[in-house]
A and B are shown apart, each in its own frame.
Chain A
């Protein structure tokens, strides 16, 4: 457990020293969301209706962008081999990296979303559901994404391959994430949808670190 937090600390320190990466993901998220009012037209009714979907799709793409160097930076400078041969379970290493990834992408995106929700003219009642849904959903994105990042480590044409492998598995989270925001925005009870999102998170937390660790071992063989 101690090594888990040490590893998270290491990754967080690294990302603070390479601030640009984290800022870039948040910047990509903000600027892509802001493109939609221009593309769709600024009528309040339309934007209000599609706002939750835009936020989720963009958050999904933003987290996909940052997955590219989740393991590859460590692989290139050789740190990954050391981490995997260290007397720590590979699943611990992977779980720590996933947590750090969420802290540097999922969490900033979640905090940024309410501000962008205002830009998309979303009703104020959906702010709290939006934060909750993203808070439950984005860790799942990091977890599933880590499996994809580990599987495609060392592959050719990685940039196209990663979305092809990951995005189909992201679809359920997108469906229930948007559903939860929309349903509670309309004033209905959305507890069931949040519970499904939570279920996805628990399932992914149980399976993904393990799958990613196996994939990493294969990639570094």
Chain B
């Protein structure tokens, strides 16, 4: 891991991964999206609205996953001063925030016909909303200092403090009586029809690879921006 603390070496690795990630992302979308939207069976209770699940579940997962990456990256930045880990954490924040917002929005669109209300203040929905605000706080705090390094460190601590929210989101449907469905995947097995699983997995894969592609792009942009800044300072000096 420490070998990739060197941004240039990391970019070399990223250049190898990037085309594969793009290809897999397009592949998963190209097969998963038609399956999810057209070919998968409608639900026996929910009818066609079940198709929202194929966006909703992957974006919820990605909202949590991106925060997990952000917290892990922040921790390695604080502990080992790993510069690339910090860049990955910073790159994850806007993507995670977008996925969390997408999850909340698709949930509202689905809740309107199914629950009869787009929003209820129960544990799952509230903790997901808190996650969204944590992302916003992380990004705002990182930008609020004159010295970028100080902002990075402060935001990294906030990311770690906020990570107490992750288990709360995950287990909120088990701990409290909630209008929200319990998890599809549990110790007892899978609670959806097997015909719905392939499109769901493909959509999760598509979102996951999309995340990898965008994170690598953003890290690359950050490295280049740092180089530009260093070059400008050199010239000014």
Contact = CB atoms under 8 A, between A and B. Distances in A.
Contacts of A16: none
A165 B146 contact: no
Interface string A185-221: 0000000000000000001000100010011001101
Interface stretch (B98-106, B128-136, B198-206): B128-136
B153 interface: yes
Interface in B132-161: 133-134, 136-137, 140-141, 144-146, 150-151, 153-154, 157-158, 160-161
Contacts of A161: 140-141, 144
A72 to B, nearest CB: 14
A151 B154 CA distance: 5
Nearest to B131: A168
A155 interface: yes
Interface in A140-166: 147, 151-152, 154-158, 161, 164-165
B133 A168 contact: yes
Contact of B154 (A157, A207, A219): A219
Given A169-B162, A214-B157, A218-B150, A151 B145 contact: no
Contact of A211 (B140, B146, B151, B157): B157
B49 interface: no
Contacts of A158: 144
At the interface, is chain A mostly helix, strand, loop or mixed? Answer: helix
Given A154-B150, A167-B133, A168-B134, A147 B141 contact: no
Contacts of A115: none
Given A175-B126, A211-B157, A165 B141 contact: yes
A23 interface: no
Chain B binding surface SS class: helix
Nearest to B126: A171
Interface size class of A (residues with CB under 8 A): 20 to 34
B141 A152 contact: yes
A219 B150 contact: yes
B154 A168 contact: no
Given A164-B133, A164-B136, A175-B126, A156 B157 contact: no
A215 to B, nearest CB: 5
B137 A164 contact: yes
Contacts of A175: 126
Nearest to A164: B137
B145 A154 contact: yes
**Residue of B133, B137, B160 with most chain A CB atoms under a 10 A cut-off:** B137
Given A164-B140, A169-B161, A175-B126, A156 B133 contact: no
Contacts of A152: 141, 144, 154
A130 to B, nearest CB: 21
Contacts of B154: 151-152, 155, 215, 218-219
Smallest CB-CB A-B distances: 5 pairs: A155-B144, A168-B133, A165-B137, A218-B153, A151-B154
